[in-house]
Structure 1
Amino acid sequence: MKNKITISVSILLYLFSMQLLAQNIIGKVTTASGTTLPGVSVYLDGTTLGTSTNDAGEFSLISTTKFNTSLIIRFMGYEDVILSNPYEKPFWNIVLQVKENEIEPVFIIDDGFTRKQKMQLFKEQFLGSNKEGKACRILNEDALILEFDKKNNRLLAKSYEPIQIQNDYLGYLVEFDLYDFYVLMNKKSIKSADVYQSMFLGTSQFIDNAKHEYQKINRDKAYFGSSMELFKTLIHNSWETKKFLLYEGKFAVNPTNYFKITNEEGLFKVEVKEQNNIGLKSKKFNVFLNLLYNKKRQSQIQFGTKEFFVDEFGNTSHRDQIIFGGDIGTQKLGNLLPLNYQPLKSE
């Protein structure tokens, strides 16, 4: 039986540059004709840090820390602007271009499955089928277009507006701009048991709307044992003080034999050392390892890249080439925390 492989990519663009002293991101947003635009949404991708322009079209985003992520400028009826290095300039003059009419004709195609069946699989692979995922509600389901590609046995999805997800378990409203989504099946099926691989890609904004203390406690539960904590453990070589164990097959191994970490002034370069007896027999780089968290939560991690970069927040590059299975593989958007999240306490 083939192992299921899942890819969950929540951030579209990553900036991996030198960490410098924090500074504000300041700018002004206008149309091509020079008209100022109030109420434009401005936020750091994957975080809770956002603001909107004032009556003069000006914005100032205050942050005590620099984040290796993009700045998104979004306003209805205009093309999004994505700044991959928002700290590059002391002041930004942003000109928004009117979005061309992208409404496409909708054809009713008989792909063999009902919308209800496709929506169920979409939610499982996008939100998650665990308690965190099941606690999420999509507030604008009608914006989603779902199609089963019978030729390639894939469920595809797109949305003409950001998907709004209320996560009642963690106390966040997430606006996710879906850029790409697919679920690859082992055969022509819509059943979750036949999923071989899934992936979603996009930008996100988190709005903290927690109303109960237990939601903040749940955030810590979601953090511990997550990929975010794993990558922090990796770059700081804190395996002994954390609850992660690394395995090659059934044998526990020393992580230093598999990873070389270089601190490049606050940004960590991770080099994966290929072992002769691991990975699939392929010309492509492929290293496959097992993880155990807290002596019971089992995961698999597959590296299709020889090197990648990690910042202090556990934000990584090459997320489409770092594939998780098992426990971490089941953690979808319902488990997703903002990049600026810090746990309330140590586990």
Structure 2
Amino acid sequence: MNKILILILFPLFVFSQNIKGKITDANQQPIEGASVYLDGTTIGTVSDADGLFEITSKSKFNTLLIVKFMGYEDIYVSNPYEKSFFTFVLVPKQNEIETVLVVKDGFTRKQKLQLFREQFLGVTKYGKACKILNEDAIDFNYDLETFTFTASCPEPIKVENPLLGYVIDFDLQDFYVKFNFKTIKSINAIQSLFLGTVKYTETKIDEKIIKNRNDVYFGSAVDFFKGIIDNSWSEKKFILYEGRFPVLANDYFKVLKKDDLYEVTVTSTNKVSFSIGGIKKTNFYADFNLLYRKKRQSRVIFKTETFFVDSSGNNSHKDQIVFGGDIGQQKAGNTLPLDFEPEILEKEVEKDK
């Protein structure tokens, strides 16, 4: 007997959001087959023979609308919902000859690939299970003066994530890992960052994958921000600590609904400098510890006083909100689409009672 019972935990808006438009070249000729999608989601389509497209989402997301077509410059729209109909004119890419400067830094490509996988995909079981399908396209550089490792790729990095049932196309815009001395081991990294746009394509869905997706979602950064705007703090979820002492989250996060977004203002009474990798920092607004389900420990540092969160838990200012501990270990291999809706299996409900 199949005991799977699916429950939607977080209801979305009851109306759909339609994004329509037409894509042409400079001669007003329609372009067929251009990819149009919402960044960080599975929501997208391709333009038809008349250059027309239409995508529908159940909710408004705080993300970009992206248009891509081989041989043409990409288009990014910061507010996909600002118009009822878009007209995009694609511009051909300029032919650029890339110059690759080979500098002897003492590290092999195998070592660099290992560091990249660890810092991009992560070292969790989900990150380790991922496979980069076009590794040969990725270029690496190690600056011996600043001990900074960087990576770039002229095409989207294609990642197969079998445990979560997705293929990810990640357009890497920035990636670096910083050290205090010449080394290429992740354990010695003092700071790392990767930014870019991403498209998710679902490849498989079954009970095991649903369980894995739930495991990744609950206790993640998205779940944390969702808890802030929903005010859903409890011992079975996140407990907020300032230093070693548990505190009331409502005293530190002020949430104001603004149209389709939530404006969050964060405060703290603990205005002291902190240290990451031996480097002291003072330009921050708040520093908290988090405990999820009494066992998973994280740290979150806000270098911005105000940020925005959409109804799905996606936050702005990603480069100014830094996580350590459990959440800090969750990299690209632990990510889910913004349109992911957590489901729960019946046996998980019984376990949680």
When normalised by structure 1's length, the TM-score is: 0.91
Give 1:302-313 correspondences, 5 Å limit.
302-313=301-312
Bigger drift between 21-30 and 32-41 goes to 21-30
In the alignment, the residues of structure 2 paired with residue 226 and residue 183 of structure 1 have an alpha-carbon distance, to the nearest angstrom, of 22
Give 1:49-64 correspondences, 5 Å limit.
49-64=43-58
Give 1:22-61 correspondences, 5 Å limit.
22-61=16-55
2:330 is matched with 331
Whether 1:267 aligns to 2:261 is yes
> CA shift at 1:105, angstroms?
2.1
What SS does structure 1 have at the residue aligned with 2:211? helix
In the alignment, the residues of structure 2 paired with residue 20 and residue 320 of structure 1 have an alpha-carbon distance, to the nearest angstrom, of 32
What SS does structure 2 have at the residue aligned with 1:202? strand
Against the structure 1 CA distance between its residues 314 and 242, is the aligned structure 2 distance closer, same or farther, given a 3 Å change threshold?
farther
In the alignment, the residues of structure 1 paired with residue 191 and residue 84 of structure 2 have an alpha-carbon distance, to the nearest angstrom, of 43
What SS does structure 2 have at the residue aligned with 1:24? strand
Q: Is the 8 A contact 2:61 2:311 kept in 1?
A: no
> CA shift at 1:44, angstroms?
0.4
Q: Is the 8 A contact 1:173 1:207 kept in 2?
A: yes
Whether 1:118 aligns to 2:117 is no
Post-superposition Cα deviations, 1:191-234, rounded to whole Å, max 9, x if no partner, equal 11101111000000000001543122210110010001000111
Whether 1:137 aligns to 2:131 is yes
- Percent identity reads 51
What amino acid is the match of 1:71?
L
1:342 is matched with 341
Give 1:196-275 correspondences, 5 Å limit.
196-210=190-204, 212-240=206-234, 242-275=236-269
Against the structure 1 CA distance between its residues 320 and 20, is the aligned structure 2 distance closer, same or farther, given a 3 Å change threshold?
farther
Against the structure 1 CA distance between its residues 241 and 29, is the aligned structure 2 distance closer, same or farther, given a 3 Å change threshold?
farther
What amino acid is the match of 1:289?
F
Bigger drift between 118-127 and 209-218 goes to 209-218
What amino acid is the match of 1:111?
D
Against the structure 1 CA distance between its residues 257 and 211, is the aligned structure 2 distance closer, same or farther, given a 3 Å change threshold?
closer
2:320 is matched with 321
Q: CA RMSD in A?
A: 1.8
> CA shift at 1:113, angstroms?
0.6
Bigger drift between 112-121 and 238-247 goes to 238-247
What SS does structure 2 have at the residue aligned with 1:62? strand
What amino acid is the match of 2:181?
K
What amino acid is the match of 1:255?
A
Post-superposition Cα deviations, 1:163-213, rounded to whole Å, max 9, x if no partner, equal 000001101000000000001113210011101111000000000001543
In the alignment, the residues of structure 2 paired with residue 262 and residue 86 of structure 1 have an alpha-carbon distance, to the nearest angstrom, of 22
2:73 is matched with 79
Q: Is the 8 A contact 2:236 2:294 kept in 1?
A: no
Q: Is the 8 A contact 2:240 2:247 kept in 1?
A: yes
In the alignment, the residues of structure 1 paired with residue 294 and residue 78 of structure 2 have an alpha-carbon distance, to the nearest angstrom, of 39
Q: How many residues align?
A: 329
What amino acid is the match of 1:335?
N
> CA shift at 1:295, angstroms?
1.0
Q: Is the 8 A contact 2:272 2:282 kept in 1?
A: no
1:148 is matched with 142
Post-superposition Cα deviations, 1:17-74, rounded to whole Å, max 9, x if no partner, equal xx99533111111111122111100000000001001111111112222222111000
In the alignment, the residues of structure 1 paired with residue 132 and residue 232 of structure 2 have an alpha-carbon distance, to the nearest angstrom, of 37
In the alignment, the residues of structure 2 paired with residue 239 and residue 279 of structure 1 have an alpha-carbon distance, to the nearest angstrom, of 27
What amino acid is the match of 1:315?
N
What amino acid is the match of 1:334?
G
Q: Is the 8 A contact 2:14 2:58 kept in 1?
A: no
Q: Is the 8 A contact 1:47 1:340 kept in 2?
A: yes
Q: Is the 8 A contact 1:279 1:286 kept in 2?
A: no
Against the structure 1 CA distance between its residues 76 and 287, is the aligned structure 2 distance closer, same or farther, given a 3 Å change threshold?
same
What SS does structure 2 have at the residue aligned with 1:120? helix
